[in-house]
Chains A and B, each alone.
Chain A
């Protein structure tokens, strides 16, 4: 630790202004602050500050994603051997899952951070931490059989077009991870939907036991069948689906961490679930097709709904920034997600579209909340006068 500090101190003069490698200032800075919280002190204004910083906050979100990641790794293996009809031990399943999932994670982080560093370098500002979270979110919302080069392309697209063109972390309009998914969904639909992509090995045509379908519950329902997975299975997550999205249980553990530490907004999470549940109930009453008849509670456990509610909708940058707005924003996401899912079976993943749509409208919601505040304050003036 001391040696590392000395090493950094030795390099530092060379990368600072006027040094030989001045250009690499951002890169050095990012590495230095990764290992050491900088020694900068408050100059004017407050003399003491809260210990929390963006690194800590983002690291915490990544930690809260770990249950979903671990479950996803196991589930990939479990589904694989289930499809093959092979009896496998727990560790075989985990091993297979890890082999499939970890490369996606590595590619996502490697490529994404590479692009972030490049941009920081070009612009000469500090590397911001936003991608720490996006880099983990992207793998978790993809089907396991997605080719690695697609992961790389989608990541580049999301970082550049989804974030950096707006000015980096804190400036983006849409959730970068969802941009990556939406990009793949529309650019390579055959790799992002259907019956085969959700279970590793199926696209390569490995032998499958008779009668096994790799379709997700939503896929089944969309094609007019009653979903074969029970509510319990969907809650625990032993169903096919995107890597980290299947287990509502693991996601709720993450949600608990986010809410307890105060990092994620419970208002958004609760209202997304409330909106989705209400829409589900309305469709239950209608009951025109199997998708509408899916139990309202069951709807909340299917597809990426829970994952979107907990990890995507709560992204503070792309969500509404007023507290009142968060209720409206979340509710509409839940409401629209189920609506898109049911009305347009070609897009079973309504959550992604609902969140992106509401990201777009978040500033509008905020605008009305702010106007409300302004009007209330003006009214006060008249009363006083």
Chain B
């Protein structure tokens, strides 16, 4: 705890539209949805039918190949739609809220008296297991594996990310309860906190090891923290979860209810009143953004941050692991001779645009690609934004040629998509590196299981 781990490589993208630490007022929306696509590797099988009455905590669907992993409704109401995409793939399971707080009752329990198996069973029954994910692969944890440690990142360093100190204040008891539950699963709990923040909530926790981190994004990524504290090797497993999810786990054991409440931050250059909002998992964002976004031009709504989030419509739903909604300009315009302009308004890590003259400036970035897809040309770009002892470019090449041995040797076990998001951001050749990494991970899972 005394030692501060300094992350030197990385990048803070200076994005316009940071939210103030105030709570905004917005009604809860009518519709909520659970999106199976948020959970990698899950093949959903419906447990409820359209028209069924559900309560908060009622199982909506489960994983076809691991039926014990269940996904539950965040609110009480009626299952109104199962939206499907190509080849009838389930995209959204939509619940219309009836506005009441009716919830499935689960037994409260004293965690200290439960075995690991009982804890797992309880978490699975209440639909909270999907929030415990594992490295390698960044998928839902497998309860049969024994993790060497449990990691929680106590801060989010992504652009415009929520401040957990603010989000978690008042939830200290539930957080501690959640930690106690986690300790039944794995006794070795680590939390990475930001050295620049007060981290009051985390400092008062019992039974965890705190690590101080300092430096630019991706210092707040749990994968980077694991790499610096206890790097993953072949055959090792680490479990991770996010702080608000730990709170929900704590509440299940103290209150006996599935708690879908989340505090999300609404930010981005196109939002009028930026701030924090109390809402629930899977909430439709329409009430958040109603009369609250700038009118000119097309907008891009992102559930999550601009690096790793999911694009959603203006009536889309908050993702399962997200506590942020970002709104930026879509940027679907043609720019005359854009590559030849001085570019005072363009954010670039390189100094190829004159924007390096004003380093403090915040940018209103849009979703334009600013160029076309090319093969790898410029070298050494990725290394500067990935604070790991990994050669990213060679890893990506090994994924593209599907060389499993090389992927393993070059460190695919340590990476999740969010860790290479910055590489993708800076890439001159506009490669889709997160997608490439996921392709590699999927191949590993397929070949090694």
B370, A316: Cβ atoms under 8 Å?
no
B311, A57: Cβ atoms under 8 Å?
no
* B255 close to chain A: CB less than 8 A: no
* A223 close to chain B: CB less than 8 A: no
Q: A54-B377, A169-B377, A370-B410 are in contact. Are A41 and B331 (CB under 8 A)?
A: yes
Report which of A43, A167, A171, A323 forms a contact with B380, defined as CB distance below 8 A: A323
CB distance from A3 to the nearest CB of B (A): 11
> In the bound complex, what is the Cα–Cα distance between A38 and B333 (angstroms)?
7
Q: Which residues of B contact A41 (CB under 8 A)?
A: 300, 330-332, 366-369
Q: Which residues of B contact A33 (CB under 8 A)?
A: 372
Report which of B311, B365, B429 forms a contact with A170, defined as CB distance below 8 A: B429
Which residues of A in the span 31-73 have a Cβ within 8 Å of any Cβ on B? 33, 35-57, 59-60
* A321 close to chain B: CB less than 8 A: yes
* B29 close to chain A: CB less than 8 A: no
A48, B13: Cβ atoms under 8 Å?
yes
A57, B378: Cβ atoms under 8 Å?
yes
Q: A41-B300, A42-B369 are in contact. Are A50 and B380 (CB under 8 A)?
A: no
Instruction: Count residues of chain B with CB under 8 A from any CB of chain A.
Output: 75
> In the bound complex, what is the Cα–Cα distance between A128 and B307 (angstroms)?
27
* B118 close to chain A: CB less than 8 A: no
> In the bound complex, what is the Cα–Cα distance between A171 and B375 (angstroms)?
8
A46, B425: Cβ atoms under 8 Å?
yes
By size class, the interface of chain A is 35 or more
> In the bound complex, what is the Cα–Cα distance between A46 and B365 (angstroms)?
12
**Stretch of B19-27, B47-55, B335-343 that contacts chain A:** B335-343
A51, B347: Cβ atoms under 8 Å?
yes
Q: A48-B365, A263-B350 are in contact. Are A170 and B433 (CB under 8 A)?
A: no
Q: Main secondary structure on chain B at its contact with chain A? A: loop
> In the bound complex, what is the Cα–Cα distance between A265 and B309 (angstroms)?
33
* B5 close to chain A: CB less than 8 A: no
B340, A59: Cβ atoms under 8 Å?
yes
Q: Select from chain B the residue with minimum beta-carbon distance to A60.
A: B352
> In the bound complex, what is the Cα–Cα distance between A130 and B334 (angstroms)?
23
* B41 close to chain A: CB less than 8 A: no
Can you list 8 residue pairs at the A/B interface with Cβ under 8 Å? A33-B372, A45-B421, A46-B306, A47-B300, A54-B374, A57-B352, A261-B350, A316-B379
Residues of chain B whose beta carbon lies under 8 Å from any beta carbon of chain A = 13, 15, 159, 230-231, 233-234, 300, 302, 306-311, 326, 328, 330-340, 343, 346-353, 355, 365-380, 383, 389-391, 393-394, 409-411, 421, 424-430, 432-435
Residues of chain A whose beta carbon lies under 8 Å from any beta carbon of chain B = 1, 4-5, 33, 35-57, 59-60, 126, 128-130, 167-171, 260-263, 265, 316-317, 319-323, 326, 366, 369-370, 373-374, 376-378, 380-381, 384-385
The 6 A-B pairs at the shortest CB distance, nearest first, are namely A53-B371, A170-B375, A37-B338, A51-B346, A381-B233, A36-B334
